[in-house]
Amino acid sequence: MLSIASRLRLPAYLGWWTMAFALLSTMMLNGSHAVESTPQAFLTSIYKNYMGSDASGLRWRGSRTAQYFDPALTKLIQKDLKESKGEIGRIEFDPFVDAQDFEIENLEIKVLSQDANAAKVVASFRNLGQPAEITYDLAKTPKGWRVANITWKRPDSGNEDLRSVLSRPL
């Protein structure tokens, strides 16, 4: 049986290197969160940016927005950036930790429900010693799982969600 390289009259090593290059190129062109196969893996890949003593969080605004949010929420975030003209805008905190500062411990990510196109996932953790619970509505897009909405559980003021915050007047 002839290999693909020999059928194409290519040296065997060239066929191997061509395939390796194609695979690596495909992996590099995908966003770092674009290929996560499960809702839990997608959120875990986000929260790894918030864990540890040298954690700096996630740069989720601007050109990276679509790596984390579905097209509709990306559009709202981009609108907020444009309307705020370099100021803080409607979002005064990091939506993934529901705070400006963070020191995340005891992270637990639990899938509440999932079908082929959507999932509801809860991230529970302690931030600066205080309990936090954030619920994610995720959507399966052609580029992988993306955040369709975020709901923050706030015991003293009630729940609030990202889509509602972004839909308010500035």
Q: What is the mean pLDDT of residues 118-133?
A: 97
Q: Shortest CA distance to 133 belongs to which of 104, 91, 164, 113? A: 104
135 phi and psi angles, rounded to 5 deg: -105, 135
Shared domain for 8 and 71, answered yes or no, is no
pLDDT of residue 5: 43
Q: Report how far residue 141's alpha carbon sits from residue 147's, in angstroms, rounded to the nearest whole number.
A: 10
Residues 25 and 50 both lie in one domain: no
Q: Name which of 6-20, 46-60, 73-87 the model is least confident about.
A: 6-20
* Domains in the chain, number: 2
Q: Picking from 32-46, 80-94, 121-135, 156-170, which range would have the lowest pLDDT averaged per residue?
A: 32-46
Q: What is the CATH number of the domain that holds 61?
A: 3.10.450.50
Range of the domain at 9: 1-30
Q: What pLDDT is attached to residue 10?
A: 43
Please state, as a whole number, how many other Cβ atoms lie within 10 Å of the Cβ of residue 68.
Answer: 24
Residues 53 and 1 in one domain: no
Question: Within this chain, do residues 70 and 142 fall inside the same structural domain, yes or no?
Answer: yes
Q: Please give, one letter per residue, the 3-state secondary structure of the chain.
A: CCCHHHHCCCCHHHHHHHHHHHHHHHHHHCCCCCCCCCHHHHHHHHHHHHCCCCCCCCCCCHHHHHHHECHHHHHHHHHHHHHHCCCCCCCCCECCCCECCCCEEEEEEEEEEECCCEEEEEEEEEECCEEEEEEEEEEEECCEEEEEEEEECCCCCCCEEHHHHHHCCC
Are residues 120 and 65 located together in one domain of the fold? yes
What's the whole-model pTM score? 0.78
Cβ proximity of 108 and 123 under 8 Å: yes
Same domain, 44 and 120: yes
Same domain for 112 and 57, yes or no, is yes
pLDDT at 166: 96
Q: Is there a single domain that holds both residue 13 and residue 42?
A: no
Tell me the pLDDT band of 88, cut-offs 50, 70 and 90. Answer: confident
Q: Do residues 44 and 18 share a domain?
A: no
